[in-house]
Amino acid sequence: MKTPRIDIFKEALKTGVVTKKYPFEPVEAPEGFRGKPSIDFEKCIGCEACVNICPPNALSVEIDTKRGIKRVMLFLGRCIFCGRCQDVCPTEAIKLSREFELSSLNSKDLYQIVELKMAKCKICGRYYATVRQILFTAKNVPKDQRPLLLLCDECRSKVSAKHISYARW
Ligand code: SF4
Ligand code: SF4
């Protein structure tokens, strides 16, 4: 049976106004809303976990081999607010906020860029990881193995391979 219109009207009067006059008055997004991600420049170690997991490539990385700088770049124009970057970041440097007003006349406003200093491999002299990433990893590596962190992947595997073959003899 259909509800008479007058009853609907009475119910609406009882409930009152539930809409907001946005954008003429501010609206706060609810708890758990997935809005604009932000990178904490102090916490980011440049590990690239977020870059590798980001589905639309809103996150990217650039390495300046001359200056030894790694840039982690977030372009909000591509972001789909999935929150995967937040899930994988080992230092909680990237987090989604409840901010949703992102329009801008200048696309530069949609970029967040972190610049991190890189370290050179002690053997081959190539830049291979950020200084912050090495320090972060060192915390979870036994003391006697820490010198290996000062080498790039390639030199580290060569050194480890030599070490293993010496050990066999
Ligand atoms: S929220 Fe999703 S799309 Fe946006 S930067 Fe993070 S991983 Fe990429
Ligand atoms: S995962 Fe976190 S620490 Fe690693 S590059 Fe992304 S924001 Fe920086």
Say how many Å lie between the CA of residue 46 and the centre of ligand 2.
Answer: 5
pLDDT in tens, 65-112: 999 999 999 999 999 999 999 999 999 999 999 999 999 999 999 999
What number is the average pLDDT over the span 122-128? 96
Q: How far apart are CA 14 and CA 17, in angstroms?
A: 9
Residue 39 lies in a domain: yes
The pLDDT assigned to 102 comes to 92
Residue span of the structural domain in which 76 resides: 30-168
Residue 42 lies in a domain: yes
Residue 57 lies in a domain: yes
Sign of CA dihedral 100, 49, 62, 41: positive
The pLDDT assigned to 169 comes to 47
Residue 24 lies in a domain: no
| CATH number, domain containing residue 92 | 3.30.70.20
**Phi and psi of 87, rounded to 5°?**
-65, -35
Residue 157 lies in a domain: yes
The pLDDT assigned to 4 comes to 82
95: exposed, middle or buried (Cβ count in 10 Å: 0-12, 13-18, 19+): middle
**Helix runs in 17-111, H state only:** 49-53, 84-88
Closest of 21, 25, 3 to residue 12, by C-alpha: 3
The pLDDT assigned to 168 comes to 53
Band of the pLDDT at 166, cuts 50, 70, 90?
Answer: low
44 lines ligand 1 (CB under 6 A): no
Residue 94 lies in a domain: yes
37 lines ligand 1 (CB under 6 A): yes
Is there a contact between 105 and 61 (Cβ–Cβ < 8 Å)?
A: no
Residue 16 lies in a domain: no
pLDDT in tens, 12-22: 899 998 888 99
What's the structural domain count of the chain?
1
Say how many Å lie between the CA of residue 128 and the centre of ligand 1.
Answer: 25
Measured from CB, residues less than 6 Å from any atom of ligand 2 are 39, 44-50, 72, 89, 91, 93-94
- Which atom of ligand 1 has the smallest separation from the CA of 37? 1
38, 74, 137 from 42: Cα distances, Å: 12, 15, 17
Sheet order of strands, 111-120 included: 59-64, 69-75, 111-120, 127-130
Residue 18 lies in a domain: no
pLDDT in tens, 32-66: 999 999 999 999 999 999 999 999 999 999 999 99
Mean per-residue pLDDT over the chain, rounded: 93
